[in-house]
Structure 1
Amino acid sequence: MAIEEMELLDMTFDKKYLKEVLCQLKETKYFYPQPATKIVNNVKDVFTMTPDEDYKNMLDELKELAEHVKLDTSSVKEGSIHFAKEDYRKALDDVTKEVKQYLDIKEEFVTERGQNQAAYEILEGLSNTELNMDEVKECEYMEARFGRIPRRNKDKLDYYRGQSIMFLDLGEDAKSVYCLYMTTKAAILKVDNIFQSVGFEEIEIPDFVHGRMEDAKKELLEEIESMNASIRKADSRLEGIRDAHEEELLKMFADLTFAARIEEFKVFVVDYQSKYAIYGFVPVRVAKDIKKAFEKYNVEYQDLPADIYGDQQIIAPTLTNNYPWAKPFEAISKVKQSDHVDTTLATAVLFILVFALMLGDIGLGVVLVLLGLLMRKKTSGKMINVLGIASFVGGLIYGDAFYSIHLYPSVIPVADAFSYQRFINAILLLIVGQFCIGKVKAIYNEQSMINKVFSIKGVVGIVMGLAVAAYVAIAVDTTWHVSYLPLVVVLVLGIVLNFIKKALDKKQ
């Protein structure tokens, strides 16, 4: 398959069509716009455009608001650019103000509930001791602290066992250890510092907690339930706001999402004061279709060579037109825009034939296909899938599973015994095949006929490489004893021809 021939398309249009052109640009496939900052050459009175961040900021605010009121925006369709930004700003501020009123109330209740739940955990732990809450609070010569520390830091307190500290473990949950520590009033500051170093968080015990422990716990539970009821009421009010403004908010979300995306395309706009222009690479074969898509906006076109701005590092993307099953192998062929030939198809065929005919096995094919499915979002996963199918087909031909289970006689003649030589031969064939493909590509890209023939990267290089490969294959795969003289002659002759080529280059 071929590399797409690219051109740089200059589209100039009236300023009044800016939004419409940007919307069309967003929908246009195979148009690769270039940043305006690369096009503008410090020419006086020629400017670039900066996206309006207001749309993005408003969208971020709306996303946060939607999260607070549990507004589902997942099914919102694409919006429109035809709206007044000022109207959306006011509407968003009004709804946000209304939501914030109940959100602040809810957060206050959530904070208070958390404090009461922590205090309940403390009381729960004290229930299993003989300590009296009132006596602890009213102790004249001792200071007490209730709180919690991260579980991971509990062992660090072992280093302070020699200190005058009374530590009581009151229970723990998934993250914290609830505890009480007491010490003398003279040592309290030092002990407070010790516990702060291990992440101690003090828990205030409400003033109403006193007397019998069970009564105090019951009172705390009632307070917690009261907080829960208040939180549910606040949630209900927030849901009411959502229901009242749902249609308005969803339309706003769709329009702002679309507008923010369109604003991103302003970085490609060159401002010539009287008109705007956008420059982008397009494949020559679809240039007419792209021009037709913009024709209703009175766009003026100029077709430019793809390398016209090469000195400004504006490089055309490399596009190839390969079959879907061959496309993953572009990662191996590594085609560049400067290449004159796309070797992806040849690379794909080489790998597929090697995996089918030399590594063909039903078991290997199934394993590779499963692995490819697990990695299906990556290019390498798609390549593994293709090779797995090739190996599976080869396995059907040979009737083998995992190279040890013979399900039925092979369709084509093959050695009965499995040998690791098959893997070695497959690797050698891939290396030689890739070498030949690379050399053919280099010869095709080379302009000089002398270099095509006499260069190490040309025909001479291919002959030398194949000669070495042939001798390696004979040494690895056979018991033949052959003379190395022909190989030496080929290599020496290749080196001599290469020196002659360099001498000719210097004379030219």
Structure 2
Amino acid sequence: MAIEKMSLVNIAGLMDELDATLKRCCESGCFHIEPAGNSPDSAMKPLSEKNEYDRPLKELAQLSAQLGITLKETDFTDCDLSAPQDFNSLFEKYNTPFSELNTKRLELTQRISELGGAVRQIDHLKGMHSDFQQLFSMKYVSVRIGKLPVDNLPKLDYYDENFFFVPFETGKSFCWGMYFVPERDKQRVDDIFHSMYFERIRIPSYVSGDADEALGKLKQTIDADTVENAKINEQINELAAKAEPELQKAFSKLRFIHDTFDLRRNAAALNDKFYLKGFIPEKEKDRFDKLFEDMRSVSVVYLPPDADASCEPPTVLKNNFLTRPFTMLVEMYGLPEYKGYNPTAFVAITYTLLFGIMFGDLGQGLLIVLGGLALKKKLGAKISGLVTRLGISSMIFGTLYGSFFGYEELLDPVFENIGLDFLPLKVFKQTNFILITAVAIGVALIVISMILNIYIGFKNKDYEKAIFGCNGIAGLVFYSSVAAGLVGTLMFDVKVMSTPFIIFLIVIPLVCIFCRTPFSIAVKYKQWRLSEDEEKMTVGNFIVENFFEMFEFLLSYVSNTMSFLRVGGFVLSHAGMMLVVMTLMEMCSAAAQPFVLVLGNLFVMVMEGMIVAIQIIRLEFYEIFSRFYEGGGKPFEPVGVKFTAQTE
């Protein structure tokens, strides 16, 4: 697996051809544009023009939303609009009738709402047979209509004031009614009722007659306004149906013109000529050339990707069918630099292997595969492919464990007939073997990570990283020697740790790691000298600083290795959880056992499957990637037009 080779593209031509050039760059789908006028030594200056299509784009998007039109990419080859005023004219063509109808609709909607509120208020006053206009036109007496909390109703008897309260309807919480008060006493009485939480209902001025008559008139008015409002909505829908084809084409073309015009800010100009630069995949050269064959004033020149120091080539991970779904995991950590290493294949192998080991079950793995295939449309091809591959790995290791939906003895006859007496692996009978194997897998992956780091270091001529670093040759020799010495001594009772072994394979590598910076400079420049920071550093400071770094390196060797114990731990955890499910099933009646088995398996699959997936990501990022991988690459983003109604 590698990184797609890029070519730096320089495009130059007359200013009259700039928009057409940008349009073809967008149509290519493979041109990653870079700012052309960012070099201080260049005589060409970047273009800084205001996009005149901003306002028409926002207006058309807003009008379409108000008409209920969902904008989408539409063929606009037969759309003759081009200048901003053309799109403004189209906007006015449909916005003027819509605004008139919408104004009427809003007025009717507001009036219906107000009338509805009046109906709800007056509905509680059905027992009142007095005319509202007569009540409110009295000269010496004021009337207040509203509702009073039921608990405060008896308290009115304690006030010796000139008012009387007439109740009409009493509910659980409130009593609706009205009180009469002389004009000269209304302020004092209003304060009393306000202190008792009286909520006044203001009857609209247009209400006439008694409560029943007013309700009848209001409902008739509401019904008439509702019919009129429905007619206006129908007219708006007809207008939208008439306008939709034209608005769809106009918006698609406007979006294309707007976005390509926005790209002008990446161009540089000098007199009547423009200059563009960017990157394309090397394999797209021929196709890209054909786009400009008929543009005689436009020249396209290809250069090596590192020819311009002011811009960094973007990274495109080149993966095959088997490893492509795991690209998303690498992108989560960060893309490698253009000249870096593509670790997708390594991640695909290690992640799939670890998932199968930690979540091995033939039946559950089969369900994961089927689930990944069934949810391909909803999850997407990448996630579906990843889930499917993990399910296959789970099936393979589930077969080795002899586990099928928690039945650990089901596959035993199969292996007996084949003659493989060492299979299946019985988890609880081979606990030590599983834990030791987990640590061995960790050691192997760490060693492979160090080898990758050495390869990348030599490729980039970083000798400190490749030879003297904690993950370079010195670190590899030290770590491998300590691991081999411990295994030989503790497991096979072989005295590997002799004096020459310790001096040459443990002490000297540690010294190299301790003095990695000056040693790497001596190798690179063929002479002994210190870096600028080290020249300012005293011998004591150098020893203390590197001592603590050495301690951190040694601690990381131990912690990273022991971290792989979780691989074996999850093997035991999975078997233990399925044992609990089988025990619960046996405790239930025969009728309930199938339900317990199904629910138990689903619970284990969901909970443990998610935990295992997360834990493997942690192992990949912290124990493996940290030894050789550096992100910081720039994603490849070809210019194009996004046909959405959203505007910035």
TM-score range, shorter chain: 0.7 to 0.9
Q: Report what 1:161 is aligned to.
A: none
Residue 185 (str. 1) matches residue 182 (str. 2): no
Q: Report what 1:388 is aligned to.
A: 391
CA contact (8 A) 1:79 1:254 kept: no
CA contact (8 A) 1:121 1:171 kept: no
RMSD (Å), alpha carbons: 4.6
Q: Report what 2:286 is aligned to.
A: 288
Equivalent-residue separation in structure 2 for 1:472 and 1:443 (angstroms): 24
Secondary structure at 1:297's aligned position in 2? Answer: coil
Q: Report what 1:414 is aligned to.
A: 424
Shift in CA distance, 366/290, structure 1 to aligned 2, threshold 3 Å: same
Q: Report what 1:34 is aligned to.
A: 34
Equivalent-residue separation in structure 2 for 1:497 and 1:145 (angstroms): 91
Read off the aligned partner of 2:478 and give its amino acid letter: M
Q: Report what 2:509 is aligned to.
A: 494
Residue 89 (str. 1) matches residue 88 (str. 2): yes
Equivalent-residue separation in structure 2 for 1:59 and 1:404 (angstroms): 63
Q: Report what 1:69 is aligned to.
A: 67
Read off the aligned partner of 2:288 and give its amino acid letter: I
Q: Report what 2:360 is aligned to.
A: 360
Read off the aligned partner of 1:416 and give its amino acid letter: K
Shift in CA distance, 252/423, structure 1 to aligned 2, threshold 3 Å: farther
Instruction: Note the C-alpha offset of 1:400.
Output: 1.8
Give CA-to-partner distance per residue, 1:298-323, whole Å, 9 cap, x none. 3312333434444x4x3222211112
Unpaired runs of at least 5, structure 2:
150-158, 160-164, 523-527, 530-648
CA contact (8 A) 2:44 2:268 kept: no
Unpaired runs of at least 5, structure 1:
147-153, 155-163
Q: Report what 1:462 is aligned to.
A: 476
Shift in CA distance, 451/315, structure 1 to aligned 2, threshold 3 Å: closer
Residue 444 (str. 1) matches residue 455 (str. 2): yes
Residue 258 (str. 1) matches residue 281 (str. 2): no
Equivalent-residue separation in structure 2 for 1:105 and 1:43 (angstroms): 60
Instruction: Note the C-alpha offset of 1:349.
Output: 1.2
Equivalent-residue separation in structure 1 for 2:41 and 2:195 (angstroms): 61
Q: Report what 2:277 is aligned to.
A: 279
Shift in CA distance, 449/243, structure 1 to aligned 2, threshold 3 Å: closer
Shift in CA distance, 218/189, structure 1 to aligned 2, threshold 3 Å: same
Give CA-to-partner distance per residue, 1:69-105, whole Å, 9 cap, x none. 3445447335578533223322321321122111111
Equivalent-residue separation in structure 2 for 1:193 and 1:79 (angstroms): 72
Equivalent-residue separation in structure 2 for 1:214 and 1:436 (angstroms): 91
User: Under a length normalisation based on structure 2, what TM-score does the superposition of the two structures give?
Assistant: 0.61
Instruction: State how 1:281-360 maps to structure 2 within 5 Å.
Output: 281-298=279-296, 299-310=298-309, 312=310, 314-330=311-327, 331-332=329-330, 334-356=334-356, 359-360=359-360
Give CA-to-partner distance per residue, 1:50-70, whole Å, 9 cap, x none. 36242x422322233233334
CA contact (8 A) 1:78 1:258 kept: no
Give CA-to-partner distance per residue, 1:21-46, whole Å, 9 cap, x none. 22221122332111345x35375562
Q: Report what 1:150 is aligned to.
A: none
Q: Report what 1:9 is aligned to.
A: 9
Shift in CA distance, 399/427, structure 1 to aligned 2, threshold 3 Å: closer
Give CA-to-partner distance per residue, 1:313-348, whole Å, 9 cap, x none. x32222111124423434347552254432221221
Shift in CA distance, 393/213, structure 1 to aligned 2, threshold 3 Å: farther
| Aligned pairs, number | 475
Deviation larger for 217-226 or 496-505 = 496-505
Read off the aligned partner of 2:391 and give its amino acid letter: G
Read off the aligned partner of 2:344 and give its amino acid letter: T
CA contact (8 A) 2:6 2:282 kept: yes
Q: Report what 2:104 is aligned to.
A: 105
Shift in CA distance, 253/301, structure 1 to aligned 2, threshold 3 Å: closer
Shift in CA distance, 33/338, structure 1 to aligned 2, threshold 3 Å: closer
CA contact (8 A) 1:79 1:258 kept: no
CA contact (8 A) 1:360 1:392 kept: yes
Instruction: State how 1:116-155 maps to structure 2 within 5 Å.
Output: 116-127=115-126, 134=132, 140=141, 143-144=144-145
Shift in CA distance, 322/423, structure 1 to aligned 2, threshold 3 Å: farther
Equivalent-residue separation in structure 1 for 2:387 and 2:398 (angstroms): 16
Instruction: State how 1:36-51 maps to structure 2 within 5 Å.
Output: 36=36, 39-41=38-40, 43=42, 46-50=45-49
Q: Report what 1:160 is aligned to.
A: none
Residue 20 (str. 1) matches residue 24 (str. 2): no
CA contact (8 A) 1:122 1:178 kept: no
Secondary structure at 2:98's aligned position in 1? Answer: helix
Q: Report what 2:595 is aligned to.
A: none
Equivalent-residue separation in structure 1 for 2:41 and 2:192 (angstroms): 66
Instruction: Note the C-alpha offset of 1:417.
Output: 3.9
CA contact (8 A) 1:455 1:501 kept: yes
Equivalent-residue separation in structure 1 for 2:316 and 2:356 (angstroms): 29
Residue 236 (str. 1) matches residue 241 (str. 2): no
Residue 267 (str. 1) matches residue 265 (str. 2): yes
Structure index of larger Rg:
2
CA contact (8 A) 2:488 2:495 kept: no
CA contact (8 A) 2:131 2:209 kept: yes
Q: Report what 2:446 is aligned to.
A: 435
Percentage identity across paired residues of the two chains: 19
Read off the aligned partner of 2:474 and give its amino acid letter: V
Shift in CA distance, 260/454, structure 1 to aligned 2, threshold 3 Å: closer
Instruction: Note the C-alpha offset of 1:495.
Output: 0.3
Instruction: Note the C-alpha offset of 1:387.
Output: 2.0
Equivalent-residue separation in structure 1 for 2:486 and 2:146 (angstroms): 80
User: Under a length normalisation based on structure 1, what TM-score does the superposition of the two structures give?
Assistant: 0.75
